Structure formats: C-alpha cells, structure tokens
Amino acid sequence: MASAEMQSHDRAATPRLTADRVREILIVDDHPLMCDALALTLKISFGLRNVRTARSLAAAQEQIRNQGAPDAVILDLNLPDAKGAEGLVILRRQIPDVPITMISADLENAMISTAMAAGAQGYISKSLGREALVDSLRRMWEGERVTPDSYQPDHDGEEDAARAELARRFATLTPQQMKILRLICQGKANKEISYELSIAEATVKTHITAIMSKINARRRTQAVLLANSVRLFDPA
C-alpha cells in the first residue's frame, strides 16, 4: 500500500456504532462514475443492500427528510451547491448522531483540520485503493477518527477548540442565512443579495444582523474572515 494511501487515526472516546451495524449509507457526490464505483465497492465489501446517493447537498437534505437518516454518510468536499466545510456543517446540524466521512482530493492540512473540528468522523483521499478505503471506513464506523497519513495535526488543543466552536456557530445559521453569508463572502452588497434571493432589502438587513449575532462578528469584513478561516465556502 502506498504511503500516500495510508491512513492514521485517533481513537474516539465513544464509538457511535459498529461497522457490522451499518446497513444503509448515503453517498453525496456529484461525479456519477465516482459515486457509482464507490456504491458498488461498499455493497460488495460490506454486504450492503441499500446504498443511497445524492448529487448535491440540497438533494441529500431532501432525501434525509423524506427517507430518514442513513447509518453513515460519505460526503464529497466540493459539491455544486456547497464547497468547503459548508456541506459538513449543514449536514452535521441535520443529522448530529450520524458519522460523516469527508472524501476529497484536497489533502491540505487546513482543510482537514477544519473538517475534523467541524465534526467529521474522518477525512479520506479520493485516490485511496479499494482495500485502504474499506479499511478506513470500517475503522471510522467502529468509532475511530481517521485522517490521511500525510496530515500533520497542529497539536494545539486551543486552536482545535476554537475551530470547533466556530463551526458550531456557523451551524446555527438557517439555510437562508447561510445563503446570505455566502453572498457576503462573494462581495455582494445588500441590494444585490436582495435581488438574487428575491427578498426585500430590509429582510436582508435583518438576516445579516442575526448572522452577526450568531457568529459573534461586528462587521461584514470580520464575518468574511471568520468564514474564510474555516474554509466554509472554500474561497479560491
């Protein structure tokens, strides 16, 4: 097994479930070939009968509302409607007790640290071979927190705690507030946000006031800096 595919891990304090109790998985990935290949691998390796798939965050949310929560989720980092930590933050709020595995080709330390602080059970590379992938998922579903072997944690408990607290604050935003914050991070003025979301400018201002209060920011620029610090929308 190549070293880039090796995964390191830390033992979580309390396992959420055991691998043999995982019967239904939701894969959220907008690449059909990747999604189908992963679904087939999981069906064969874990003997699963039902592997659900969704091509976007919105589709995943709707599916969870209509079909109930799965036993585990595998979430692509970059989706058409959510790039960066946004998808994880939103799903963690919707299904707080379900282990979520982030999967991506982006193995930057900052992104992995943010994902783990935001509540991911693990973070794995899309380049993993089948055996390494299955082993990583099995360990996660047994309660381990799994990260790539190349990942170098900060070993700063205070910084990790700050990231986790910030992620929790962002998770309190409503879907509409998250949309508005995304547009703020894109540099849109209130009038532009009002036009794009088809809501009154006064309503935009009310939402912004609520956003600032929830994330403990005094100015728009500070809100943008906080969002960027955890790569909430994965800015370029």
Same domain flag for 116 and 179: no
CATH of the domain at 100: 3.40.50.2300
In a domain, 160, yes or no: no
The tens place of each residue's pLDDT in the chain, 236 residues long, gives: 433 444 444 434 334 456 677 889 999 999 988 888 999 999 999 888 789 999 999 999 999 999 999 999 999 999 999 888 899 999 998 999 999 999 998 888 888 888 888 889 999 999 999 999 999 999 999 999 999 988 887 666 677 778 778 888 888 888 899 999 999 999 999 999 999 999 999 999 999 999 999 999 999 999 999 999 888 887 54
- Position 116, amino acid: M
Could you give the 3-state DSSP secondary structure of residue 97? coil
Same domain flag for 65 and 180: no
Q: Rounded to an integer, what distance in angstroms lies between the CA atom of residue 221 and that of residue 224?
A: 5
CATH of the domain at 184: 1.10.10.10
Question: Residue 97 belongs to what domain range?
Answer: 3-148
Same domain flag for 101 and 17: yes
Same domain flag for 129 and 189: no
Q: How many domains in the chain?
A: 2
Full-model pTM: 0.81
How does strand 78-79 pair with strand 82-83? antiparallel
Beta bridge partners, 73, equal 26, 100
In Å, what is the CA distance from 63 to each residue of 19, 70, 102? 23, 10, 19
